A and B are shown apart, each in its own frame.
Chain A
Amino acid sequence: EAGVAQSPRYKIIEKRQSVAFWCNPISGHATLYWYQQILGQGPKLLIQFQNNGVVDDSQLPKDRFSAERLKGVDSTLKIQPAKLEDSAVYLCASSITSGGSTYEQYFGPGTRLTVT
């Protein structure tokens, strides 16, 4: 079974520029998560989708970050404009969803963003 796919793997931009990341979850996984992992820390949840609806975006800096999951499959995360503190690895994860029970989350390889 194919895993979670993400692209690009690396991105270097200057502050105030915009950037977009793409994620393709495991086939059949209704729930998709975007996490931000700053060097030396654990992943931090930014947004959670179930199918194409947002379940939780309480930690998403909405003045600069946006995300969408059209058709309930692929998702994109955008930052506009980027700040130096946005330098991090952006991880996408997916899981199956059934009756509100919790299941393991499968992570993609991540996109390493460097803002200069």
Chain B
Amino acid sequence: QQPVQSPQAVILREGEDAVINCSSSKALYSVHWYRQKHGEAPVFLMILLKGGEQKGHEKISASFNEKKQQSSLYLTASQLSYSGTYFCGTEWDSGGGADGLTFGKGTHLIIQP
């Protein structure tokens, strides 16, 4: 089953914050976050493993709530360069990692000056 991302799209002014959610109906081993700009390959942002950890990457951070099987990506003080489509990719908790990812449909983020 494909993870569900929300919202589908969001428009922000530069400097505003955003939260993108990724939910699964199946137990997850890991959640991977990627950003893709139009016509380009997805670019890796971060991985979160089951265990409910939180990670940070400059002004972009993420959390993984194992109870809810949900991950959230936080973008603070957004910059124009943050525009793009954000995808979460999930690995099921079937005994280990190193599996192919099941991606959500993506969240389109537009940052306006």
A residues with CB within 8 A of B: 4, 31, 33, 35, 40-45, 48, 50, 55-56, 91, 95, 97, 100-110
Q: How big is the B interface, by class? A: 20 to 34
On whether the beta carbons of A56 and B99 are closer than 8 Å, the reply is yes
What is the minimal beta-carbon distance from A63 to any residue of chain B, in angstroms?
A: 21
Q: Does B113 contact A (CB under 8 A)?
A: no
B residues with CB within 8 A of A: 2, 29-30, 32, 34, 40-44, 47, 49, 87, 89, 91, 96-106
What is the minimal beta-carbon distance from A102 to any residue of chain B, in angstroms?
A: 3
B residues in contact with A104, CB < 8 Å: 32, 44, 47
- In the complex, the chain A residue whose C-beta lies closest to that of B43 is A107
On whether the beta carbons of A107 and B102 are closer than 8 Å, the reply is no
Inter-chain CA distance A32–B73, complex, in Å, is 26
Residue among A35, A43, A91, A100 with most chain B CB within 10 A = A43
Report, nearest first, the 10 A-B pairs whose CB atoms are least far apart. A102-B97, A42-B103, A45-B100, A107-B41, A100-B96, A104-B44, A48-B100, A102-B30, A42-B87, A107-B42
A residues in contact with B32, CB < 8 Å: 102, 104-105
**Total CB contacts across the A-B interface at under 8 A:** 68
- In the complex, the chain B residue whose C-beta lies closest to that of A108 is B41
B residues in contact with A102, CB < 8 Å: 29-30, 32, 47, 49, 91, 97-99
Inter-chain CA distance A115–B46, complex, in Å, is 34
What is the minimal beta-carbon distance from B88 to any residue of chain A, in angstroms?
A: 8
B residues in contact with A41, CB < 8 Å: 105-106
A residues in contact with B103, CB < 8 Å: 42-44
What is the minimal beta-carbon distance from A70 to any residue of chain B, in angstroms?
A: 20
* Known A100-B97, A101-B96, A102-B99; 14 more pairs at CB < 8 Å: A4-B41, A33-B100, A41-B105, A43-B87, A44-B103, A48-B99, A56-B100, A91-B41, A100-B98, A102-B30, A102-B47, A105-B32, A105-B44, A105-B89
What is the minimal beta-carbon distance from A10 to any residue of chain B, in angstroms?
A: 11
B residues in contact with A106, CB < 8 Å: 44
Inter-chain CA distance A95–B99, complex, in Å, is 10
